[in-house]
Structure 1
Amino acid sequence: MSVNIIILYYSRHGATQALADALAEGILKAGGEPLLRTVTGAGDPASQRDLTINKDELKQCDGLILGSPVRFGHMASALQQFWEQTSISWLKGELEGKPAAVFTSGSSMHSGQESTLLAMGVPLLHHGMVLCGIPYTEPAIQQTVSGASPYGASHVEHGHGKQLTDHEYQAAVALGKRVTVVAEALKTAREQGTL
């Protein structure tokens, strides 16, 4: 059974998009179908490569991974604005019981990455999603000297530009796989009526 996982992100300079691509690889390796989507920013040029998400895609997905560059410890305003317009989906429970994860990129080690990851999880929890992190059994989490944490995939740009380190890449791929495996299990349980 194939599941479709939306990778919904905002990226201005390409670092968050590079993480999205690594997550997509993880989804593919786990047998899922990644759907890379973006949001349009208020005056900010967002990724021109991927399509803008529509609410029907949100309703039909089997899982979602949300990504943003760090904005003073919070997600980009374009993503915040998107979530503020999902009240109907929230009232209908369209995302309830589906897995989710988060990812971010920042310019330095102490740019607010962990608070951004935690803040991005809040609307997902309000929608009733099952939040997935990266466990410490993933070697990249224990070995990284830049991005990636138990809260989600991340990238530190300082000294690397938008190029992911090996550990950042490995952690993102692992998170993509994890969300896909959880999505398959939850979808099977729903179809069998055991959830």
Structure 2
Amino acid sequence: MNTPYVLIAYYSRHGSIETMAKHIARGVSKVSGIEARIRQIPNISTTTEQTETEIPESGHPYIELNDLSDCAGLVIGSPSYFGSMAAPVKHLIDQSSTLWMSGQLCNKPAGAFTSASSMHGGHEMTIQSIMTPLLHHGMVWLGLPYKNKSLITTMSGGTPYGASHLAKSTGESKLTTEEQLLCEAQGERIAQFSLKLL
């Protein structure tokens, strides 16, 4: 039997979201009996809504629908674009209607994470924009409880809706200690619930 996995799917323009995905994977790896699978979401052409390249130039492999259908849990990461998910993330979700019709994501835990260049740049709204279609899939939404002390002490990113990062306008992708800990806590929590709901 194959080892169950938490799928960490991300779209990253400047590296912050990819860095967060790696920390979420570290959190998943703290739970025995489940693995982390990181996949990046490809950029799309603004004119054709098709993926721009077949193979990524760098980073993790591109996500495929069977990565989604076979996962035990799901975490999606997107930069905040005007308080909403990036177009490539929405495009991926729009392609998942066959999974919705067959209920393949139903009763699986889900979460999201984001990065924005200002404190009030839409961290929570972006996570909520990802949450809505996943609730339509019947997924079980998991946020970050305040038992994570980093959520109280953070002076940068971090929300009860999911992990976030306050990126500098210079495009710097270095996460604070609190942001790293919250990413790991989110990954660990999703992994724990994924095993419980198998």
TM-score clears 0.5: yes
| Superposed CA RMSD | 1.8
Amino acid at match of 1:53: I
> Which has the larger helix fraction?
1
Identity %: 37
Query: Which residue of the other structure, out of 116, 134, 139, is the alignment partner of 2:149?
Result: 139
Query: Which residue of the other structure, out of 62, 84, 100, is the alignment partner of 2:94?
Result: 84
**Unaligned 5+ runs, structure 1:** 188-195
C-alpha deviation, 1:69, in angstroms: 0.4
Which segment drifts farther, 40-49 or 174-183?
A: 40-49
Name the structure 1 match of 2:114.
104
Q: Is the 8 A contact 1:147 1:153 kept in 2?
A: yes
Encode CA deviations 1:66-112: one digit per residue, 9 max, x unaligned: 10001100011001011111111000000000000100001110111
Q: Does 1:35 align with 2:37?
A: yes
Encode CA deviations 1:3-51: one digit per residue, 9 max, x unaligned: 3000011001100011101000000011221110112112489783111
Taking the aligned partners of 2:57 and 2:133, their CA distance within structure 1 comes to: 22
Alignment of 1:46-195 (within 5 A): 48-158=58-168, 161-187=172-198
Encode CA deviations 1:110-164: one digit per residue, 9 max, x unaligned: 1111100111101110100001000011111011011011000000012782000
**Unaligned 5+ runs, structure 2:** 46-51
Partner of 1:52, secondary structure, is coil
Taking the aligned partners of 2:66 and 2:147, their CA distance within structure 1 comes to: 36
Amino acid at match of 1:122: T
Name the structure 2 match of 1:193.
none
Which 4+ runs in 1 deviate beyond 3 A? Answer: 43-47
Amino acid at match of 2:134: L
Which segment drifts farther, 123-132 or 40-49?
A: 40-49
Which segment drifts farther, 51-60 or 10-19?
A: 51-60
Name the structure 1 match of 2:48.
none
Taking the aligned partners of 1:139 and 1:148, their CA distance within structure 2 comes to: 11
Taking the aligned partners of 2:27 and 2:107, their CA distance within structure 1 comes to: 21
Q: TM-score, normalised by structure 1?
A: 0.91
Taking the aligned partners of 2:176 and 2:126, their CA distance within structure 1 comes to: 20
Q: Does 1:3 align with 2:7?
A: no
Q: TM-score, normalised by structure 2?
A: 0.90
Amino acid at match of 2:190: V
